[in-house]
Structure formats: C-alpha cells, structure tokens
Amino acid sequence: MMERMKSYGELTRYAYLFVFVFHLITVYWTGGFTHMRDPYLMMAGSLLLLLHPFFYLPSILCSFFVRRRLGTIWGLIGFVFLWIGYEYLHSLGEFSFPWMTIGNSQAYDLFRIQIVEYTSVYGLSFLILAFNVLAFFWIVQTTRNRWQLFSSSSLVTLVGLLLLYVLPWLYGSSVVDSNTSLPADHPFKIGLIQPNIDPFEKWGEGSAPDPFWAQMGMHLNTTRSFVKDSLDLVLWCETAIPNRILLPSHAHDWQILKSSLDSIGLPVLTGFPYTEFFDSVHAPITAHQISNSAAYYEDYNAVMLILPHQPVKEVYKKMRLVPFAERIPYAETVPFLIKPLKWSVGISGWGLGKDTVLFSMKSREGREEHFAGIICYESAFPDFVRQFVLRGAKFIVVLTNDSWWGNTSGTYQHIGFAPLRAIENRRWVIQCANGGISAFVDPVGRIHQATRMYTTAAIEKVIEPRSGNTFYDRHGDVFAKLCFLLAMAIFLTAGYYSLHST
C-alpha cells in the first residue's frame, strides 16, 4: 500500500480502513452485538472499533516518512521496528489494549511460541512482520524483473525466509520434546468450578427469588463434591460472589457462607466486589459519596483466598482495568465523564488496585505455596504477570467471566493468552471462567482439560508449583525496548536526511 500512496493524507485514509477491517474481524465481539442486551456495552464496543484504529496510524505514517527519505528497504525495516515499538508502548498506561498484539495470533502454534521465554509476545510479532516484509520484498524484486529467480540475491532472501520459518519451530520442537511429561515432585491439586451463570442474571436481572443464594448453593455443593478428591485449592470465577460480602451490611450472608466453607474444609480462591471507605480528603476522584455524609466509598473487582477456620487476610484488587468498560482512562483528569460513561450492569466504575498481592497457603503436604490470582483482561499483559513471578508466585490463577460476549471468538482469544504467559514464566496457568473456557496450562504451553463454552463443569488436576526465573522474568521486555530504540534511530536518521536535503 505504501508503494502506491502519494501523500500522507491518502495513506491515512487507506491505513485507517485497513486497520478498521482488522478490528472488525478480530474484536467484533466486544460490543455484545450477538445478544444486544446492554446498550452501553454496544456503545463501548462500537467506539473501540471506530476509534482504536487511530492508535495504529502514527507507526504507519512514520514508516511512510522513513521510506520516502531513506528508500524502500529502510522503509520496510523501519516498519517492522516501528510497529513492535508501538505494540510495546500501547501496553503501557490506562489506554493500553494489548489484546491485539500481532504475536497473540500464534498462541496455538505450540512449537514456535516457545521463544517467548526470551522475547515475550513481541518476538512472535517480529517473526510475523519480518517474514511478511521479506516475502513482500522478494515478490516485488522478482515480479519486476529486478532479480532473476535463481540469482544470489533471490536465493539469499529465500534462505532468510526459510530460516525465519524453520528455526523457531526447531527450537520449540526440542523444548516440547524434552518436556513430554512434567514431573510432580511436589504435587498441588487444584479443582475449579465453571458455573455457567448468565452474567446479567448474576446481578439480579433474572427471575430467581434469591439469585445470590441460588448461585452460592451451586458453588457450595460442587465444592463439597471435591472433598473426596483431596484437593489443595478450589477456584471460583471472577465475581463468583456478586455481593459486597465483607461489608457489615452483609455480615449474615458472610457468616453463613464462611461457616459452610469451614465445614467443607477446602481453601477457596474466589472473585468478589471489595469496598473501601474514605473521608473527603483521601477519596479518589472515582469514589462515590455516601448520601448526606462526608464519607466516600470505592468498589474494586477483587480476589480473596478463603482458608478454613481463618480470617481473610490478602485481598487482591484488579490493577489493569478494561478502558471505559471498567474505568474511564485517566479519570482523575476528566471527572465529568465518570458518571455518564458508566456500565449499567452489576458494579461499574471499578477502583484501580495498586499492589501485586500474592496469596499464600499450606498445601496438604504442609509446604508453603505462593501464587498469583489475577482477573480477566490482566492476563493479556506480559510484563504485568511477570511482576507476580518476580515476587515469588509459583503458579498463576486467572479468574474471569468471559460470558458477556456470547459464543464468539473473544473467549478463544482470551484462553490463548494463557500458553504465552505460561511459557514466558515457565509456570502453570489455571484459568477459571464463568461460562468457559476454563483450563489448566502447563509451563510448556500445553492446554489440558479445556472446557466447552456455556457448559457447567467441575475439573481438577495436579500441578507442580515452580520456582526459578526465565530470561524474560529476569530482563523483562528488553527485546521490545531494543526494537523501539532501533525504530527511533531509523526515524531520527530519516529526519536528519530530511533536514539536510532541504
């Protein structure tokens, strides 16, 4: 496309159309258009499709600038590094949306994704972009008779394409083959419950006379059925407890639920809404004022570990919130948007968590185990998950809903992040979803016991809590940062030539 464009304006129009179609194919499901049950969800999804493509334009326009100043070859090289630099930058800040990082598309290619232990998902993006750019250059050169098919330049390019395609596959094949069966010297047995509760009825929209206890009854009965299997931990999904259960106003419900879990005797990790109170001086801008008082409160999408006969200690509050759906980005600077842009289902306008909390418990064999319990969208952030591992997490739990969107590709995309995070950190990742897909993912990225969408399920598996750090754990996104620096060097060189040519 850049070869034919005559101006930046023309390129902008065509680039926007290209990226918009890419969004339409990839994240059409974000608006809940398959069920059309929530106007705000449809509005937010429409805005994502229409506005998010603009984030891609700077890297494309910069590549066009480099091509015009330094020539086609440098333009193509610059395109690769500028795109990866953009993907890395777009994973930072409250507008971040790393869901569409190109490397995520390879999540099910088990052999090739083994390189993310060193490069994270950005290495996969590099492979895809480099292969396509090199292939494009070869096609242009040969079809325009600049190269003969068997000329040295043509053959060298073809060898480069072959190496880009084969070498990651060979490396990944050797890694997977050497880990055909993972030992469990220190077994830790986890069960998870996929309740398949309609997310709209969960918050009281259904016809059940007491939806809270109908849901809790199902969870308790299924948890009780796990007792005979000698589990170490049971997982309930994101906001499996839909009430602010730890508030004094729900003390009766909490007493009944805690007594029931104490009698069952199994530790439970669950999602729930957590509420904090503030005075007028310390209240964040997103906090809600309690009527006729100077007190404020903030709700958090949270996770807690309920241990038998022990008080709740750690509470993790979600730190990476979905832009607009869960929180207005940089709400402190645009407080007038907080109230009108608010989802009407359940609790919207979640507070922003601040700390990477680890959960700790003893296994049935008496070993102290530490693990992360992250929520939904957070599993799309490589460096964010890495921070929990650096703090000592031996395995990673992802609690999610994934039932808002209907039976669409969104859920399949989400479970695809689990193998990438597992390989980056060489940890087990266990995803527990409301309506699917739930699964166990081993440190090599193999998915075990994946459930079907919109089914009720209870599955269990023995995992191996792991310690030790990978290259990615130790050095983070050094590959992406290097790509960004190279992109800036190429762009600044093009700028230098542009200034001196005029």
Residue 26 confidence class, pLDDT cut points 50, 70, 90? very high
Task: Note whether 223 and 192 are same-domain residues.
Answer: yes
Taking only the tens place, the pLDDT of each residue in 243-297 is: 999 999 999 999 999 999 999 999 999 999 999 999 888 888 778 888 888 899 9
Residue 83 confidence class, pLDDT cut points 50, 70, 90? very high
Tell me the C-alpha distance between 131 and 460, whole Å. Answer: 40
What's the CATH code of the domain at 284? 3.60.110.10
In the prediction, which pLDDT does 77 show?
95
Q: Residue 304: which H helix or E strand, with range?
A: strand 295-306
Q: Extract the tokens encoding 355.
A: 């700390």
Task: Note whether 49 and 96 are same-domain residues.
Answer: yes
Taking only the tens place, the pLDDT of each residue in 338-372 is: 555 554 444 457 888 999 999 999 999 999 999 99
Q: Is residue 323 within 8 Å of 329, Cβ to Cβ?
A: yes
Count of structural domains within the chain: 2
- Coil, helix or strand for 235? strand
In the prediction, which pLDDT does 342 show?
52
Tell whether 276 is covered by a domain.
Answer: yes
For a pLDDT cut of 70, what percent of the chain falls above it? 93
Task: Note whether 175 and 115 are same-domain residues.
Answer: yes
In the prediction, which pLDDT does 350 show?
83
Mean pLDDT for the stretch of residues 24-38: 83
Concatenating the DSSP letter of every residue in 328-373 gives -TTGGG-GGGTTTS---SSS-SPPPP-----EEEE-TTS-EEEEEE
Tell whether 476 is covered by a domain.
Answer: no
Lay out the sheet containing 447-448: strands in order across. 359-362, 368-375, 395-400, 428-433, 439-441, 447-448
Tell me the C-alpha distance between 206 and 34, whole Å. Answer: 19
Token pair 């209907």 is found at 406
Tell whether 384 is covered by a domain.
Answer: yes
Taking only the tens place, the pLDDT of each residue in 192-221 is: 999 999 887 776 655 555 788 989 999 999
Tell whether 63 is covered by a domain.
Answer: yes
Task: Note whether 193 and 173 are same-domain residues.
Answer: no
Tell me the C-alpha distance between 171 and 184, whole Å. Answer: 25
Tell me the C-alpha distance between 359 and 351, whole Å. Answer: 20
Tell whether 19 is covered by a domain.
Answer: yes
In the prediction, which pLDDT does 220 show?
96
Task: Note whether 488 and 458 are same-domain residues.
Answer: no
CB-neighbour burial class of residue 247 (10 A; exposed 0-12, middle 13-18, buried 19+): middle
Task: Note whether 419 and 284 are same-domain residues.
Answer: yes
Task: Note whether 429 and 496 are same-domain residues.
Answer: no
**Average model confidence (pLDDT) across the chain:** 90
- Coil, helix or strand for 420? helix
Task: Note whether 248 and 113 are same-domain residues.
Answer: no
Task: Note whether 77 and 209 are same-domain residues.
Answer: no
Enumerate residues 6+ apart whose C-beta is below 8 A from 63: 2, 75, 78, 79, 82, 83
Task: Note whether 162 and 200 are same-domain residues.
Answer: no
Tell whether 138 is covered by a domain.
Answer: yes
Token pair 């729930």 is found at 272
In the prediction, which pLDDT does 326 show?
76
Tell whether 366 is covered by a domain.
Answer: yes
- φ, ψ of residue 230 in degrees (nearest 5): 55, 55
Taking only the tens place, the pLDDT of each residue in 362-414 is: 999 999 999 999 999 999 999 999 999 999 999 999 999 988 777 889 999 99
Tell whether 219 is covered by a domain.
Answer: yes
Task: Note whether 455 and 437 are same-domain residues.
Answer: yes
In the prediction, which pLDDT does 343 show?
47
The answer to whether residue 28 scores a pLDDT higher than 70 is: yes
Enumerate residues 6+ apart whose C-beta is below 8 A from 292: none
How far from 340 is each of 31, 185, 299, CA to CA, in Å? 18, 54, 18
- Coil, helix or strand for 301? strand
- By C-alpha distance, which of 201, 246, 233 is closest to 346? 201
In the prediction, which pLDDT does 209 show?
59
Taking only the tens place, the pLDDT of each residue in 109-127 is: 999 999 999 999 999 999 9
Of the listed ranges 74-83, 95-104, 178-187, the least confidently predicted one is: 178-187
Task: Note whether 296 and 430 are same-domain residues.
Answer: yes
Find the domain containing 283 and state its range.
188-463
End-to-end Cα spacing for the chain = 26
